[in-house]
Structure 1
């Protein structure tokens, strides 16, 4: 079977967030998990064609299957475009553990509709959270509260007061993994609005799933966009917002988000990717 390595949320090799993509006809869960562990990327996507306009996609970290992954979705459709298995200017259905996701292809840009937004719990102990992130409690919040939000996966949104404070985060990964498990979180998404050239700069941590830090997290960026809408920071619809991530890992990423439908707000997340390697898995 064919596999590919793709840098997602970038158009420059060795930028963005790398993901594995494997084209399959059928495969058992244990084999997919072993391949994901062998490739070693934060997520590997396994893609099975269902029809002319739909694909079944499953996502695995080195440790476990997850319902959805934004950057791996960009990787999947980058491969499908590269191999002419899909056509630019069309939309496709991606069947995932988080439900059916519509993906739009326009001029090489891949934009995926997110699941309906859901607000989760507010963080009850900011001091505890600050300790897990290795920063002072005063660096968290300002006028915005830490809160779990989902547009497909439940991440804890953690507003940080400045770029300097964001860069200062040095998480206790073992304790943070336990915190994720206790609160049912896919990841911890720390972000700051202290930037002139984008909506936000972010860092994302998910040690529970074997991801110490990720250089681009599309689903969390979608959740962050809805969070900022919910708290009145964003009011514009059908306007593209740039979200920056990965600078701390020397893999700068640009994630595009867009709010749609003021009557029933939804979020689109997208960007571009580049195939940097391909080969054959012999099992």
Structure 2
């Protein structure tokens, strides 16, 4: 058995258990966790809570590029993880002036001035290798002088502010993909709490078969969200239910900052970033109850057996 993050660690999950073989662990990670973490809605949540995952890279679903109208025309910008815009370096094609000199225009973010030599040198060297540049007949020394002069001119150019405006966008929510992550959590929580009595049950076998058929965040043989939930005997759970509010109070955190798993009688409720599902009759018998809360802000897990 290998260590499994029950809630995806890239989304702030801390709860682990040795309940999966290596093959199943790889399958769940590739086909269930990875598509879930790539969902724009989940990336927004990860950005809001600064969850960088294993590599520490905080996602930015609105990165861009975006076009902004500036003093020199249209400017391409990208947003970093903190939503700060950065100008994408743009250098127009080098041209020959009537006087026999070289001309070009250059846009770069002020914070990237240290990159000017590399960008300009690359652009001008490509120009001198082109038929137009080769026709000048300049010696290597003359080419180097022209490049060095261009670099110096750009480095000494004053900075200009770029006007800012609104950037509009939409975030799509792939509910089947989010649901399958919740189904994986429900299955694993029941395995942790009930052990062999669940693992060897017909319901566990049914869940294993369904989860084993997931490919890239979907089950190809299921025609739509309703059909998918019917296969797991599940449905969306009310976000306003007192159950989630009680767990949030126990965890001292808002529901949107929590991953929650609750076993009650035969059923399981799973909510991640405030989106809950209920899995009916997951267990064969009404065993003990259990409440797990994983706070992504304080990075802590709380557990209660009832």
Where relative contact order (Cα < 8 A, 6+ residues apart) is larger, the structure is 1
Question: Greater CA radius of gyration, 1 or 2?
Answer: 2
TM-score (norm 1): 0.26
